[in-house]
Structure 1
Amino acid sequence: MSSSHPTPQPWYKQFWPWFLIGLLLSSIAVSTSFAVLSIRSFDGMVQEDYYEHGKAINMVLAKQQQAADLNLGATLRIDPLTSDAVLDLTGDDRPERLVLKLIFPTEADRDHELRLEHVRDGRYLGQAPDNLRYRWYLQLQPDQETPTWRLVGEGRFPDEGEFALTPGRAADS
């Protein structure tokens, strides 16, 4: 009696080796694409010098306290068509020039710094960048090497309304 055994198919004609190879290749492709994505969109640390930044918080609070002691407050208007910045400063200190920092919350390369010139009676004028969009943090301080006070606020552009800058935390307008 002779028994006939079916001859097995070669490995490359079977399902399971190709299934396992497919899993391996798909995991390599996915991990490679994630690696490329993480390298191209590297954000770094939010604050590289976090220790120095933490020590500087007391100086910032002192500047804001000095602004409160001087009874300082300001309103800012930026014309959406001409980008003219008009700032009205109230209080006991009116320097000839002010610096207004427009700080974008998530991207430092979009930040802007404006110089505002004193015109009359606490009114300052300057030129803002064209086409301001979205939400910005606002910081106002005298144009000095070491400013003595700081006002802060928050604005959403484009808007024809006024934004308040106060000595305290950023306030919604």
Structure 2
Amino acid sequence: MSETARFEDHEASRPWFRQPWFWFLVLFPAASITYCIVAITLSMTTHTSMVVDDYSKEGLAINQSLARDAKAAELGLEARIQQTGRNLEVTLASSDEGTGVAPEYLILQLFHPTMGEQDRIIQLSPTGEGHYRGQIAGNIDGRWYLDVSGPSSDWRIKGEGHFPADSAIVMRPNDPERG
């Protein structure tokens, strides 16, 4: 018996689980099934806060938001936000001195770009003419979307900032009329 025939006979006598072609053919479908099980489990157990259930109400609320932005632009408002330790100081200024915009307090909303559970609302108390101060609970390091409004919510100033900030974050209203 030749050497090749003996080798082929030995290969054929090995059990099925010792055959390399069997594992080569089973590996890819098994990996695919495992990946699908993991993906389905993650999609069912992970909450996605970026998805809005009632998108029609969200769409209607956009018009109200644009009106609030236009009101802030009409009043010529500007907000300067400065962080000092756990304190946030906001200076609200108006280019129209005759408007008399001096709310009894301000509402600062901090929106995290990706994790909605970290969003915060801070009420800022007045400390002087156009100056407001509030305390931060927890860590706010990183990038945030900012929204400053008065107690009546008839105007708002939106912006974006990174904390901790070395200098003041200046926010001016987006005027939807000017684009």
Same fold (TM over 0.5): yes
1:30 counterpart residue number: 35
1:97 counterpart residue number: 105
The whole-number CA distance in structure 2 between the counterparts of 1:33 and 1:131 is 32
Q: Unaligned stretches of 5+ in structure 2?
A: 1-8
The whole-number CA distance in structure 1 between the counterparts of 2:21 and 2:113 is 52
Q: Deviations over 1:96-149 (max 9, x none)?
A: 1110001111111110100011121111111123432111011011123xx111
The whole-number CA distance in structure 2 between the counterparts of 1:155 and 1:110 is 15
The whole-number CA distance in structure 2 between the counterparts of 1:157 and 1:149 is 24
Aligned CA-pair RMSD: 2.3
So what's the TM-score if we normalise by structure 2?
A: 0.77
The whole-number CA distance in structure 2 between the counterparts of 1:152 and 1:128 is 19
The whole-number CA distance in structure 2 between the counterparts of 1:122 and 1:161 is 19
1:3 counterpart residue number: none
For this pair of structures, how many residues does the alignment match?
160
Contact 1:11 1:17 in 2 (8 A): no
The whole-number CA distance in structure 2 between the counterparts of 1:90 and 1:150 is 13
Contact 2:108 2:147 in 1 (8 A): yes
The whole-number CA distance in structure 1 between the counterparts of 2:82 and 2:49 is 34
Superposed counterparts of 1:68-79, under 5 Å: 68-79=73-84
1:161–1:44 CA distance, 2 compared to 1 (3 A): closer
Q: Which moved more, 1:149-158 or 1:160-169?
A: 160-169
Match for residue 138 of structure 1 among 129, 146, 162 = 146
Q: Deviations over 1:5-34 (max 9, x none)?
A: x8x648636544454344443332222222
Between structures 1 and 2, the one with greater helix share: 2
The whole-number CA distance in structure 1 between the counterparts of 2:134 and 2:149 is 14
- The reply on whether 1:123 has 2:126 as its aligned counterpart is no
Q: Unaligned stretches of 5+ in structure 1?
A: 1-5
Aligned sequence identity (%): 32
So what's the TM-score if we normalise by structure 1?
A: 0.80
Match for residue 166 of structure 2 among 139, 154, 160 = 160
Contact 1:152 1:166 in 2 (8 A): yes
